[in-house]
A and B are shown apart, each in its own frame.
Chain A
Amino acid sequence: MGTTESSIVDAARGRPGLLLVTLLGGLLLVDLAAKLAGVSVGPLGGSLSTGRLGSNLWNGLVIGLVIGLAGIGLSMTYSILSFANFSHGDLVSVGAFTGWGVAFLVAGFGDIPIRTLLSVRDAGSATSGDIGAHILATPGAVLLGLVTAFVVTALIALALDRAFYKPMRDRDGISILIASIGAALIVRYLLQFAYGSDRRGVTASVEASNLAFDPLGLSVNAHQLTIVVAALGLMVAMHFMLQRTKLGTAMRAMADNKDLALVTGIPAERVVTATWIIGGGLAGASGYLYVLLRGTIQFDFGWLLLLLIFAAVILGGIGSVYGAIAGGLVIGIVFTTSTIWIPSDFNEAAAFAVMILMLLLRPEGLFGGVSTA
């Protein structure tokens, strides 16, 4: 006992920040328990239904999976190409627009002009309700859209690499980072040019799409379930690719040591190409799924999401694929549960506060030092 206590005291002396954060976290938990029990003691407590907490956690999980999925590609390009890719957020938008264009085309083919459908625009009298894109009403269209989002975004990512990043392969990370901001702007305003700048509804609302889980008082809708299933499926596929295939092993090898990979005979450019295809594809898929969650789309939503994606990747330990997923979940859950204590206008601030705390207390991140593994 004596040794345990003194080691705790030592740890507190050595890292007062950690102590403070632990105390604050404990306080929040006590407060949460008091709120759930409906007790209020001074400033603590209040009331909170388990249903609200449950749906906060569930929503956090769904958003977290989308952010984590997008973060995988960002972390991979960081570890294999050694630069922070600021055009990643706009790849997320590319996936959303191209994917939903095709989903609309399949769902609304016949009655509405093809151009309108492909541009994800409910022009004229047609509304998103008329097109009726919904996982329950038009599952084929929604799935085909997801595949399109992956494939087209992968190709765009590859094209950006060939046009901008490949010629700069030997430059330092800062130059390529600045180039990626330029690429981000080009992609964003091409999207605005092609699809317009207005924010619009995409998915139709379908009655009975809410599946209520009564014991928890939690309501789960079919689109959230689709996101969870699709995101987990892609993550598991990613895990097997990295751990069980020759290409995945080569990716981990390159992330470990590029020079050694070169003298080992690993064809670097082929691995880089695969990295863009997979990382870009996952970014596109996550953008497409994010629209399924929000129900609306606008040309710069990926850019706005990029900050949260960066927060997730840094929180998880930049360069680690598994860290990106874990970081995404933490950011997602903080994002939604923080509204228990603070107005929802500030929930992004809460997500970043958690990231900054992580950087202060554990700079290497959750999975720090473990590149892609």
Chain B
Amino acid sequence: MSADEAVEESVEEPAAEATKAGTAHTVEGDAILRIRDLDAGYGDLQILTDVDLDVADGEYVTIVGPNGAGKSTVMKTVFGLTTYMDGSVEFEGNEIHGLAPEQIIREGIGFVPQTDNVFPGLSVRENLEMGAYILDSVPEDQIEEIFDRFPILRERQEQKAGTLSGGQRQMVAMGRALMLDPDLLLLDEPSAGLAPDLVSDMFDRIDRINDAGTAILMVEQNAKEALRRCDRGYVLVNGENRYTDHGEALLGDEDVRKDFLGG
């Protein structure tokens, strides 16, 4: 083993002795998002079975798992984009399944889809304005806040979003979802399609959004990095809960590592 690999190993193995990852899928006390026994899918095809998932206020939660495990389906179901079958999805104490996306946004949830997540023919500023469509007037102070968060967008505000680089588009997409200052932000694979050197910048930005008080529920292919950064992680397999624990604990678990994180 070379020195480099040894260093990497030590980073990836925060818990020196591997422990068994937890399987308690719910949190004690108040969760802003509370999913219980959720069955959902597309048309007749059921993807999720009895999924439980909680996100506490201000918490940073990641869903990882193999391809086809239903990670994105959980997120889309929260947003009312799949076929709901059974169970409950409560947000801040209100049942939200069956609401139109427009109403879910009003409840305080923002969603950044994985691909095609900007309007290419609209300028950066117009993309952000569309994020606040349900308000009567454009919230200029919120646009300023997003420009402070992503300064490059202030420079490019009149440019069409379709002409931006992948990383900048991802900023526009996040900025749009933050326009209404949501309590919970859903991120579907934010690092997908980004050049490797931009990935950690992207995760840093997500950290800062979370530090400012917004709870995050994220699906991510880049599972190691995601688990290292998040508060808690869910491992989903075949549309069912498998493990749930603190991110570091999942990273340290031998079974999780072997089965889902590539050793």
Contact = CB atoms under 8 A, between A and B. Distances in A.
Interface in A252-271: 252-253, 255-257, 259-267
B105 interface: yes
Contact of B121 (A261, A266, A267, A371): A371
Given A253-B122, A255-B121, A256-B122, A264 B133 contact: yes
A253 B121 CA distance: 8
B84 interface: no
Interface string B79-123: 101000000000000000000011001100001010011111110
B119 A263 contact: no
A59 interface: no
B121 A373 contact: yes
Interface residues of B, number: 24
Contact of B176 (A246, A259, A264): A264
A263 B121 contact: no
A246 B79 CA distance: 24
B70 interface: no
A260 B113 contact: yes
A185 interface: no
Interface in A172-204: none
Contact of B116 (A257, A266, A267, A371): A257
Interface stretch (B6-14, B124-132, B253-261): B124-132
Given A260-B116, A372-B121, 15 more contacts: A246-B129, A249-B130, A252-B121, A256-B119, A257-B120, A259-B116, A260-B113, A260-B117, A261-B130, A262-B101, A265-B102, A265-B133, A265-B134, A265-B180, A267-B102
Contacts of A259: 113, 116
How many chain A residues sit at the interface, stated as a range, is 20 to 34
Contacts of A112: none
Contacts of B133: 246, 250, 264-267
Residue from A256, A262, A371 having most chain B Cβ neighbours under 10 A: A256
Contacts of B120: 256-257
A29 to B, nearest CB: 35
A370 interface: yes
B145 to A, nearest CB: 18
Given A250-B133, A259-B113, A260-B116, A265 B105 contact: yes
Interface in A289-337: none
Contacts of B131: 264-265
13 contacts: A252-B119, A256-B119, A256-B121, A259-B113, A260-B113, A260-B118, A262-B81, A263-B81, A263-B113, A265-B102, A265-B106, A265-B134, A370-B121
Contacts of A373: 121-122
Contacts of A264: 105, 130-131, 133, 176
B119 A257 contact: yes
A266 B130 contact: yes
Residue from A259, A260, A370 having most chain B Cβ neighbours under 10 A: A260
Contacts of B176: 264
Contacts of B102: 265-267
A226 B78 CA distance: 55
Q: Which 3 A-B pairs have the closest CB atoms?
A: A265-B105, A256-B119, A373-B121
Contacts of B101: 262-263, 265
Nearest to A370: B121
Contacts of B105: 264-265
Interface in A356-373: 370-373
B3 to A, nearest CB: 46
A260 B102 CA distance: 12
Contacts of B129: 246, 249
A265 B131 CA distance: 7
A259 B113 CA distance: 10
Contacts of A255: 121
Given A246-B133, A264-B131, A253 B79 contact: no
A263 B79 contact: yes
Contact of B111 (A253, A256, A263): A263
Nearest to B160: A373
Contacts of B138: 246
A264 B133 CA distance: 8
Contacts of A265: 101-102, 105-106, 131, 133-134, 180
A38 B133 CA distance: 62
B257 to A, nearest CB: 34
Interface string B144-187: 00000000000000000000000000000000100010000000
